[in-house]
Amino acid sequence: MATSNGGGNKYRSYLTPEDLKTTQWRAGPPDYTVIDKFFEEGRTKIWPAGSFEKYVQHLVKTWEMELVHKANPDQYKTLDPKKFVLGINRKKYFTLEETGKIGGSYNVFLQTSLPPELRFYDPDQETYESSQTAFRQVFPRGFALEVVQVYSGHPVIAYKYRHWGYMEGSYKDLPPTGELIEVFGMAIFELNKESKIVKIEFFHDRGELLAGLLKAKPSEGVGCPFMA
């Protein structure tokens, strides 16, 4: 996948002015101005131009952009929509169609086998819109992503990643803490001969994100059963 974007975003492909006009977006074209600035201020790695690590980070960010923002799977350019599957901790795998029905990246990555009554965040009860609204409020500057190490090359790419953000907004009845929330994980991207993604596996602890939210004390007069 090329990293020259013809006037588009420097960290993601397929965001040229023409792409922004012709792509079917879920909620309008994405604006990465704030999150990219936040990413540059907080990243721990600056990969040199032409390095494989830079290529992997660019691929991951572009794929994530398509998953979150593109409404029409036929317009995904990073993957093969007919063969693509996504796995979380090797417990469950989703096709692209199933991923779309679940509703966005947060609902996919926060999948759980916990009984519903024990779920602080229940992806089965959230939609794309509700999950995006909730976490954009929690992380006003975004929940940034960087690749911190790459372990293997094409066609099966294994890498370590870091997500981070500051809880500068409230989550339901939990007020902002201003504290850093980080999630580290591993991922494996399997690509075909055309360098299109056909399989992704993520390995992470969803509790790293949710525990950061639970550090906040409930608003006065509001109880939280998970903080007893």
Q: Show pLDDT as tens, one digit a residue, over the chain (228 residues).
A: 444 455 589 999 999 999 999 999 999 999 999 999 999 999 999 999 999 999 999 999 999 999 999 999 999 999 999 999 999 999 889 999 998 888 778 888 898 888 999 888 999 999 989 999 999 999 999 999 999 999 999 999 999 999 999 999 999 889 999 999 999 999 999 999 999 999 999 999 988 999 999 887 776 544 444 433
Quote the pLDDT of residue 7.
57
Distances (CA, A) of 49 to 3, 8, 137, 138, 209: 10, 17, 34, 33, 31
Quote the pLDDT of residue 21.
96
Quote the pLDDT of residue 216.
79
Q: What is the pTM of this model?
A: 0.90
Quote the pLDDT of residue 2.
45
Instruction: Tell me the DSSP string of the chain.
Output: -----TTS-TTSSS-SHHHHHHS-BSSS----HHHHHHHHHH-S--PPTT-HHHHHHHHHHHHHHHHHHBS-GGG--SB-TTT-EEEETTTEEEEHHHHHHH-HHHHHHT---S-GGG-SS-GGG--HHHHHHHHHHH-TT--EEEEEEE---TTEEEEEEEEEEE--S-BTTBPP---EEEEEEEEEEEE-TTS-EEEEEEEE-THHHHHHHHTSPPPTT---GGG-
Measure the CA–CA gap between 76 and 159, rounded to whole angstroms: 22
Measure the CA–CA gap between 118 and 184, rounded to whole angstroms: 23
Quote the pLDDT of residue 142.
97
Quote the pLDDT of residue 222.
44
Quote the pLDDT of residue 223.
46
Quote the pLDDT of residue 219.
60
Quote the pLDDT of residue 220.
52
3-state SS of 41-75?
HHCCCCCCCCCHHHHHHHHHHHHHHHHHHECCHHH
